[in-house]
Each structure stands twice: as structure tokens, then as C-alpha cells.
Chains A and B, each alone.
Chain A
Amino acid sequence: MRKHSSFRFRVCALLLVFYACVFLLPACRGGDPVLYMLSAAVPGSMLLLLLLPSGLFAPDRPSLAVALVLCGFSMMATVYLSVDETVSQGIRCAAGLFFLALGAILVRSFRPSVPTAGLAGLFGLGLLSLSLFISDLSFSLSDGGMALLLLAVSAFLALRLRLPALLIGLGGILLLLFQKESGSAAILAVSYAAVFWAASDSILWSGFSLAAAGGLFAVFLMLPGWFVPKEPEIPSVLSRLSSMPLLPPETVPEASGVIPPDLFFLLGEQYGIIILLCAVLLLMLLLIRGASLALHTRKSFHASLSLVAVLLLGLRAFAFLACSADLLPLSAPAFPFMTSSMPDLFAHFFLLGLLSGVSARNEADLEEDARLAMLAR
């Protein structure tokens, strides 16, 4: 047991060294006291989160480690360009931890029932329809809305109420299609059909849900002027990727005032392609961890929740990579945990919280089994 748990301490030690070096290096150059503070605060807080006793803070530690590394990557992308932006990103990530705790508590206390599922569904639909009522909204809450909507679908399916699950899911897809968010609508439709297929235990209903989602897409695609394919970016992402160095560039990047919201490619330009590949691999590890959590759950509702989190994060990353490479004619969504958009970041932390809650339930079930085994002896 001691041998197994030592990996946690090794990860912590490496995080400490890595992020201390990342922020100390520019601090030594410019002597900015904020960077000195970041070089202590960022690895210190990561260490604290990963080593806190499970009674106080019980997240799924491997998933949390991955998320923290990705958040650290998003902070280091702007460290040479704008220290203020780095601090802002750090604050955004720290605030996201609140949503991580919220998701974890929700899973541990949420029992599928008609009122709770209906409430979650209404909240989800409300978040998705917010931009219909407030036209000049500068940010999108679709990620959070989709998470809540799929939570409601999972709860209804756990109660064997397939018709409300079908209607709520289709309502969400319809709202996203009305707002011309075709990428998010496609992600929701695929996740919704997959959850329906996994949880309904009926080929008829899953086929019907898939056909209904596809039918909605077909209707909107036939509407004139609804779908306008995205113009290929100039220079294209592939050419940007080919111009990126494998290792960090020899010359130090100079500070610039404008920071793009997409921090993924910015990280590649600052630190090379190897770091980008590491970010993608880390996200894949997170998805594998989520899938294994889904397999070990004892209730279909918790398995559905894990599936929702894995699907939303994985499909978002896939859509980001596919849209960036112009394989899909849609505007690219944000890469999970590497965005400066606060609602998206909060939604990603909320999904991570769902995974943490499911992991905590699995551990609690095992402890209960061990207690019963002790009593039986």
C-alpha cells in the first residue's frame, strides 16, 4: 500500500519543481514580485490540494492532478506575455475549484427522483436559453447547461422515465440549434444518444432518441441561412502547427497586450509541440480514469454521470482538435481546462466534480463492504 501511494507524492514533488521553475525563470529576468509570489503560490496550492486528507477534501486525486497540470499549462502560456493575465487565469482556476466541490457534493447528495431531475432539467434549459432572452450576452453558458441537462436525463433514465428524458434532451438540442451553436448542439446530441443507449437498456428507445436528434439537425440544416460553414483560418492551424518549435524557442517571447482566448496554441508557440502533446495525453488519461470510474460504479445513475463527464470533456477536446485542423466546418470550442473563458472553465471543473463525486461513492461503497465483512467475521 505504501508503495502504491508513493506515486501521489512523486507527482506532487514533480509538480512542485516544475511550476516553481516555470514562474521563477521569468521572475529572475524581470524581477517582478508577482512572479515570485506565483512561483510559491501555484505549486504550493497544488501540493495542498493533492495532499489534503480525504476527510476534508475528497476529490478523485488522479483526475485532480491532471486538471491541475492542465490549469498550470494555461497559466504558463501567458507568463512571458502578460503577468496580469497569468494572475487572472490563476484566480479563474482557483474559483473553478468551488464548482469542483459543488459537483462532488451534488453527486453525493443527489438522489434521482422526479422533482430533483425536473429541477436540474429546468436549470439546464434555463442556462441554455439565457442568450435568447439577453441578446447582448458576451459569454456562453452552454457548457454548464449541457452538464445539468444530461444530469437530468441520467436521473430520469435511472427512474425508468424515458419519455421525460427524451423530451428534456431534445429540448436542449433544439435551444442550441435556435442559437446557431451547431458545435455544442452536435456534442450534446452525441452525448445524449450515448447516455440513452447506455442507461435505457432498450434498443428501441436509444434508436428513437438518436433518430429524433438527427431529425432535428436535418430540419435545421434545411433552413436557409441557418448553417454557414466556418471559413478556413488563414494561416491555417496546420501551418501554425508546422511553424511551432519542438522545444521552447531560442529567443525569449516578448510581452504583448492582446492575449487570445485560446490558450492551447499559445502554449505551443511559447513552449513547443512536446508540451502540447503532453496536454493532449494528460486529457486522454483523465478520460480513461473517468471511464474506469464509470465501470466500477454500483448504480446505473452514477455510471451515467461518469459517462456524461467523460463524453462532454472528450468530445469537446475532439471537436477542438478537429475544428482547429479544419476537419469540421465549425467554430472550435475551448480545450478543456485551457481556456480563459470563465463559464467554460467552471463547467469543466463541475464535470470533474461529478467524476470526483462518483469516485467518492465508489470508495464509500467499498468501505461499507469492508465494514460488513468485518461484522460477518
Chain B
Amino acid sequence: MPVASADVWKVLYTVSRYLFPVLAVSLVFLVLFFILSESRIRREKVHNLPGSGTVGELIVLSGSRELDANTWFPVPREGVLGSVRSCDLVIPCPGVHTKHLDFSWEDGTGLLIRPRTGCEVQINGVPVTCRTHAADVPLTHGAVLQVGSALLRLHLFAALDSTVSSFRPLPEERPSFPGPSAAFVPDSAQSQYAVPPVPYDQAPVVSEFMTPSVPYDHVPTVSECTQSEPLLDPSAIAPESSVSDQNAAPPLSQDSAASPEASPATVRRRRSNRWKEDLGE
């Protein structure tokens, strides 16, 4: 049953003749802005994630005149490594072909290396050619890749899921720390590193090692710690400590072991006391 009379409907139809094209054009513009805004959102996301799209970085251990050591390259999920600028990873070193190898990230396995025909690389000393099955020798965190004369170490950002059945890690070689060179270290210090093997039954009791050489004067309680210990200052954290630093005994002096009153500048006040002190001032 018609709702509008013929005249009313005629007016509505006349209005719609102009309204529909206007609405359709508005739709086009709004969809355009919608697409642009989605692209902007994505750009902002990527801008806030500088390492976005990369699975890790390749650090040059030894390169050439044109490629200094310690140079690092962000590694995308897929790409080509070669010596020409069109490659994703450009390694201008002797022995590197224009397009030497293809690489691709596989979740749970690592970075798969596929050398092109006639090209060869070494992964942790294992030679890999185009005939090698790439999943058998994946490049994992810390692995060393030799391409031509360049030595590159991979540092991964992406996590590996080692539960994948195809993953077979390479036999790991434990790094040996020989300690400081004998030429620069006195005999007493050398003996600290050169610990002879001790049979299990003759091993010293662990508590002997744990006893500090300088006894603490005062062990603070939990409540004292919450009152007096300064907050952890990120700038005070060393970026990376060397192996010798880690092995060395921590410096333990009387000053550092002293009571919290020794450093009043870093004493943290209780919230309830702050009001009293501030008002008192």
C-alpha cells in the first residue's frame, strides 16, 4: 500500500535525483579518506616499531675495504644477498657474486639459506651449496655465515619455536675463556683462572665460596630496604659487561656496605613523612 501520495512522492523523487549523486560522490571521498587513514595508522605503527619487518641483524665480523667490521644490516624475512645494490643485503666483498644467495625466515626453524647455482657459503664452518637442503642447515642466533671473504654473525630478534620437528640444531661448541694473557697477568691472578679439575668427593663445600671475604656490618631488613634503597637508575646499568668483568669478584668495600645514612642524597622518603617534612619547612 503506498505511503506517500502522488504529489509527495513526486517531491521526494525530485529531491532524490540530486541527493543520490551527491551521496555517491561523498561515498567515494569518504572511502578515499578511509583508505588514507588506514595507511596513516599503519605508517604510525611502523614508525613506532623501528625494527619492524626484520627478523634480526647481520653483523660483519670481517669484511673488506668497502665493508668495515662491525657494520650491521637489518635482515628482512625474505630477500637476496649479493654484491649489487639491487639486493636486499649488499655485501661488497671479494668472492661474493652479484646475487649470491636467497634467504627466507621460517618460523620455528631459522633463517634458511639457499645459495644460487655456482655459489657457496659456509654456516658455522659447514659448506652449503645450492644442492644442500636449506632446512638442514638453518642460520640461528649467533651463527656465523661466511660469504666470499666476508664473515657475518646473525643476531636474531624473532623467537624460535624449537618444538618443530624439522629443527635440528648444530652441535654447539662451548666457548672457552682462556682468561687474560699470561704476559700481562701476575701469577697470583693467573691461578685464579687456571683452576685444576677437582674430583667430586673432594670438592669444597659451596658455603665456603658464598661467604663474603669482608663481612657485612649490617644486613638491612625488608622494611629498611623499602625505605632507604634508591630506585634503580637505568643510566647506572652498564650496557654490556665483558667476560672478565663477569668472572671478577664484585667490589665490596666498606663504603658500599655501609648503612643507608652514608648517602643521604639517594635516601627515599616515605610518603607519609614527606608531608610532615615539607610542611615543617
Chain B residue nearest in CB terms to A274: B21
Beta-carbon contact of B21 and A272 below 8 Å? yes
Of B10-18, B199-207, B221-229, B267-275, the one touching chain A? B10-18
Contacts of B2 in A (CB 8 A): 28-31
The count of chain B contact residues (Cβ–Cβ below 8 Å) is 47
CA of A61 to CA of B42, assembled, Å = 14
Q: Which residues of B contact A250 (CB under 8 A)?
A: 17
A28 and B20 contact, Cβ closer than 8 Å, known pairs A366-B42, A366-B49: no
B183 contacts partner chain A, Cβ-Cβ < 8 Å: no
Given A30-B2, A366-B45, A370-B49: A289 touches B35 (CB 8 Å cut-off):
yes
A173 within 8 A of B: no
Contacts of A10 on B, CB cut-off 8 Å?
30, 34
Which residues of chain B in 36-63 are interfacial with respect to chain A, using CB atoms and an 8 Å cutoff?
A: 37-42, 45-46, 49, 51-53
Q: Is the CB of B49 within 8 A of A373?
A: yes
B12 contacts A62, C-beta separation under 8 Å: no
A370: B residues at CB distance < 8 A: 45, 49
Contact B23 A14 (CB under 8 A): yes
The secondary structure that dominates the A interface is helix
Chain B residue at minimum C-beta to C-beta distance from A248: B17
Bound CA–CA A285/B45 (angstroms): 22
Which bracket fits the contact residues of A? 35 or more
> Which of chain B's residues has its CB closest to A6's CB?
B37
B150 at the interface (CB under 8 A from A): no
Interface presence of A8 (CB below 8 A): yes
Nearest chain B residue, comparing its CB with the CB of A252: B13
Q: With A18-B27, A62-B34, A366-B49 as known contacts, state yes or no: A372 contacts B20, CB within 8 Å.
A: no
Can you report 22 A-B residue pairs in the complex whose CB atoms are below 8 A from each other? A4-B38, A10-B34, A11-B31, A18-B23, A21-B20, A29-B13, A62-B31, A69-B27, A160-B102, A247-B18, A252-B13, A271-B21, A274-B24, A278-B27, A282-B27, A285-B31, A285-B35, A292-B39, A296-B42, A300-B78, A373-B49, A376-B157
A-B interface, 5 closest residue pairs, ranked by CB to CB distance from nearest: A31-B1, A274-B21, A4-B37, A7-B34, A278-B24
Given contacts A298-B53, A369-B52, 7 further A-B contacts (CB under 8 A): A7-B33, A271-B21, A274-B21, A289-B35, A366-B45, A372-B51, A372-B159
